[in-house]
Amino acid sequence: ASYSVVSQLDGKPTAAIAIYQQPGSNSLDVSKGVKAKMQELSQNFPAGIQYNVTLDTTDVIHASIDEVMVTFLETTLLVVLVIFLFLQNWRAVVIPCITIPVSLIGTLAVMSLFGFSINTLTLFGLILAVAIVVDDAIVVVENSTRLLDTGRYTSRQAVTEAMGEITGPIVGVVLVLLAVFIPTTLVSG
């Protein structure tokens, strides 16, 4: 410890302690743990002694996560409106909208299985993944609707035929997108 550091808070002398997280640890968990431990320890402080957290860098992380969540909700609303504007059928809107929670639940389960934490980057990745899944669902619904409108197919036949026509292109697009984003998973840091 260095005795050359002088610190003050509101003009009063204080003892300052900087806490750094270990590499690979979760900032939010560290902050929460430190605050809980300080609250516990403060019960035994002498009279007149108190602690104060003057700088918590996780505030920025919380703000970023909040912003991503707002972006996700806005995106979901816009997707619903755009689908309805183009397909002009609420039934056609329901299927892509169901894919959003289904894809999120699946993705969060896989993230949990592999030990990924939820942070700004993973949330943006979730938004991107949802966009891809919804886009694919829209293509399927649109193609099925087109085939149904011909009057030659039942609902089941139209969906089966539509999937036969577009499975190859959809898989190709997903593989191209994976080829673009897989190198970013290899970057450390």
For residue 65 the two structure tokens come to: 């996560």
- Domain endpoint, select from 18, 41, 56: 56
62/51 same-domain check: no
Task: Please state the domain count of the chain.
Answer: 2
d(CA 39, CA 44): 10
Is residue 118 domain-shared with residue 161, that is, in the same domain?
yes
- 98 and 20 within one domain: no
User: Which residues 6+ apart lie within 8 Å of 31 measured at CB?
Assistant: 56, 58
Mean pLDDT of 142-147: 88
pLDDT of 150 higher than 80: yes
Reply yes or no on whether the pLDDT at 21 is more than 60: yes
Q: How far apart are CA 114 and CA 38, in angstroms?
A: 31
Expressed as residue numbers, the domain containing 109 is 58-185
Residue 9 and residue 64 in one domain: no
The pLDDT of residue 27 is 85
Average pLDDT estimate for 117-137: 79
Question: Of the candidates 147, 157, 163, 145, which has an alpha carbon nearest to the alpha carbon of residue 89?
Answer: 145
- pLDDT of 117 higher than 80: no
- The answer for 16, left when phi > 0, alpha when psi is -120 to 50, beta otherwise, is beta
Q: Could you report the per-residue pLDDT of 54-103, keeping only the tens digit for each?
A: 888 888 888 888 887 888 788 888 888 888 887 777 877 888 788 888 88
The per-type count for the chain, helices as H runs and strands as E runs, is 5, 2
Of 41, 56, 71, the residue at which a domain comes to its end is 56
Work out the average pLDDT over 24-30.
84
